[in-house]
Every structure is written in structure tokens, then in C-alpha cells.
Structure 1
């Protein structure tokens, strides 16, 4: 008996939709995309042979926005039915690539003179972190970026900071100035009394070594607070 196989397999209904999404992106970027469509497109590169639209809507329903989806941890993403470890790690990778990109942009700047010069990186780096994170930007005498280092990852409301470690790293990198950046997971960027005290302590320790503390930026949800801009610290060029 001769077996006959059907070689004309019907394509799944979603395959055409995936192709159209990719073509739209190829032709015009994401400018015309809605949030759920961006997530659909993103998931097509992590999930094969499956309609990603229901997953995109499920993610938005749970987290509320595209930004919140990208800020979620892999374990949180895995709570959505249909989002496996591979997909969760892929979404996390996208966010980490964003962070790396903004860091490179900061390094390309010829000079950092205002909080706005670094706030995009700060948001990409820290916004959405479930715990309080403290980072230091090391600069030259001309305020160009030498490097960025994550000093501490703390609990939901407190980070353990070692002034000695920060100063040691600044000297090792031959930094002439520092900018501190940390997040408030609660969403409100107003600095606490502890934040201000830490800034004063670090400024006092760094000054005799010829290292200036230019700013301490606190990042919240869509907002930031510059301690320098609000006159809580002064640089050598400013009159008290």
C-alpha cells in the first residue's frame, strides 16, 4: 500500500499576523505601534509557532504598561501563563540592552553639566528595580565619564553604602568628580534625611582628596530629584 502525505499543510492563522507586524516595523519602526503590538512583536522573537497576542494582553493586564513589563523580574514574568523561562529572560535581556545603550550614550557625552545629561541613563538603569540600588558615575576634571559602577543593591527601602569603597574606587580610577545615583522603589524621588546625610558625608570625605561630589540624583517612577539642583550640596564653583 502506498501512503500519501499531505505536503500542503495549512499555515496557522497567526503566522500572517506575525509577518505583518515585522514588516510594519521594518518599514516604519515602532512609531505606529500600540503597546500590545510592541509586546506581540517582541515575543515573536522568543516564542515560535504560537499566537503572541493573548500573551501580550496578559502581560499588560498584569503589569499595567509596557514599561512595567520590561521592569518586571523573570520570576514575576513567569507568573503569567504561557511565559516560560526563555521568554522571561528574553524580555529581561531587552531591558539590560537598553541600560547598556544609555550607559554608552552617557560615556559619549563630552561633558556632564546638568542632571538632565545623566537622567536618561539613570532611569534606564534604576527605574523598575524592586530594591534600592546605589550607583556611582566617575568623571574626569572636564566632567567626562570614566565609568559607572553599581556599589550596592539593598532591600526595598535601604541600601548599604560603604564610603570607603567609593573613595577607594574613585582614587583607583583617578576620578576628579563623582555623581551618585540611586532609586526609590516606592516611586517618589524626594530624598530622605539619610540620603542627604550620606551625600554630605561623601562630599566631606572626598573634598580633601581633591574629588568633587557634583550631584546625587534620586530616581523615582517617571521623576527624578537632583540634590545639587535643589541646593543641598555645592560645588567649588558655587558660592555658599
Structure 2
């Protein structure tokens, strides 16, 4: 989580200040109504799982650890009002989260732990496994990792001769509508990893995965660079908010 420390210090809050830290209660104990509410939510979660809970209650469960002695329901609702749903809350950039009153370092850490755990779980289902026969899991991983980002990210999935996913690397970050990609660098990295095939993946923060002309041009350039080296470009996936576009499925590759 070291990457977040600079952001906290750059905010307009005094150093060490944490709005999510609870103030002392007169009795030094959690009020009974808060304790009972938390007990009920935890019990419902254990009995019915996440499917039995709306987003704001699942978010409350996450916030319990960050804010141990206060009612977190108002903050959970404020976060959902700001970002829309549970996924967008936990994947929101740190600085935007800090703009929500009541969010401090403790809250950020808990949210980002959940985000990291979700990405690790999704990645474990695809890494070192056949990419083509695990296609649905691969799409889930791409959406988990990239669908809710505010800026474009370009990733390359490197496959061996048996189409086993041997590496997943972020090649570049960009702006809200552009990411710089260098075909020669992609091909060079494939050689370094002894990869036989690639799947390109990038997101559209707008939510619309429709390929742009620059997306098509870049794909063709990478395809040509890889072809000269005997490396196959299996697909280019563009990830939107709720769906994706496959160049291969659309006949563009």
C-alpha cells in the first residue's frame, strides 16, 4: 500500500489526520445499537453469503474494521451515492475516495485490501492455465482488473505453445481516452518470455468498448510485428463497464 502514502500527504488534510478515526466515547465502549446491528449483519452474511445482502450492507461489513466504534451506514450510502455500486467503490482512485467526507486512511486501506483480494482470486483462476479453454474466467479477470478504471490501461497476456497463460503484464497507462503502445516493445517482451502467442487487453473508461480507429491501427501494427517473429496474436479485448469487444469474434483480426 506504499503507493498511497504520497497521496494522503498531498491532500489538504493535516499530516496524520484521519477523518475515519472514531472519537472517544464517554463509556469507552461501542453503543449497544451499533454492536447489535453489526452482529446481525455478520450473522446474515455467514448464513446467506453476499448474495443475500445489498451493496450498502456488504460495504458496511468492509467498513466495520476501519471504523470500529461508529455507525458506518451513512458513509456506506455516501460512497455508493458517489460511485454507483460496490465494485466502483472499491476500485475508485484514492484521491477521489478522499473527497468523500468521513473517508480517511483506515477506510482506504480496507477498500484496497478487498480490491487486491478480488484481483488475486480472479488471476489465480487463469494464470498457468489454458487461456482458450478458460475463456470465461479470463474475461472475468479482465473485467475485475480493468472495467472500473478511470484511465486507459494496456495489458498483454503472454501464452506458451500450449496456450497456457505464462504472464500477465501491464505495458502502459494512459489518459481517459488514450494509452501509448509500442508494438516493437510488445514483440520484444514476448521474445524475452519465450511466448508463442499473445492476447492484448485494454479498457475504455467511457464504458463503451467499441474499437476506435487508433485501436484497430495499433492492433494491426502489433500483429505485423509479432508475425515476423512467429508469434501469434490470438485476440485483442476491449473492456467496457459491463461488456467487452473481441477483435477475433468481430472478424477484425
Q: Give yes or no for TM over 0.5.
A: yes
Residues 229 and 92 (structure 1), Cα distance of their counterparts in 2 relative to 1, 3 Å cut = same
Q: Deviations over 1:151-173 (max 9, x none)?
A: 00011111011212211111111
In structure 2, stretches of 5+ residues that fail to align are 1-25
Q: Deviations over 1:25-49 (max 9, x none)?
A: 2233212111111011110022111
8 Å contact 2:201–2:236 — kept in the other structure? yes
Corresponding position: 1:80 with 2:100: yes
Residues 53 and 149 (structure 1), Cα distance of their counterparts in 2 relative to 1, 3 Å cut = same
Decide which structure has the larger Cα Rg and report it: 1
**Correspondence for 1:197:** 217
8 Å contact 1:111–1:142 — kept in the other structure? no
**Correspondence for 2:16:** none
Corresponding position: 1:97 with 2:93: no
TM-align CA RMSD: 2.0
| Matched residue count | 228
In structure 1, stretches of 5+ residues that fail to align are 1-5, 234-240
Aligned residue for 1:157, secondary structure, equals: coil
Deviation at 1:109, TM superposition (A): 3.0
**Correspondence for 1:238:** none
8 Å contact 1:134–1:159 — kept in the other structure? yes
TM-score (norm 1): 0.89
Runs of 4+ residues deviating >2 angstroms:
6-12, 108-111, 113-117
Residues 42 and 9 (structure 1), Cα distance of their counterparts in 2 relative to 1, 3 Å cut = closer
8 Å contact 2:66–2:106 — kept in the other structure? yes
1:127 to 110, 126, 147: 147
| Equivalences for residues 52-201 of structure 1 within 5 A | 52-113=72-133, 116-201=136-221
8 Å contact 1:138–1:175 — kept in the other structure? yes
Residues 53 and 209 (structure 1), Cα distance of their counterparts in 2 relative to 1, 3 Å cut = same
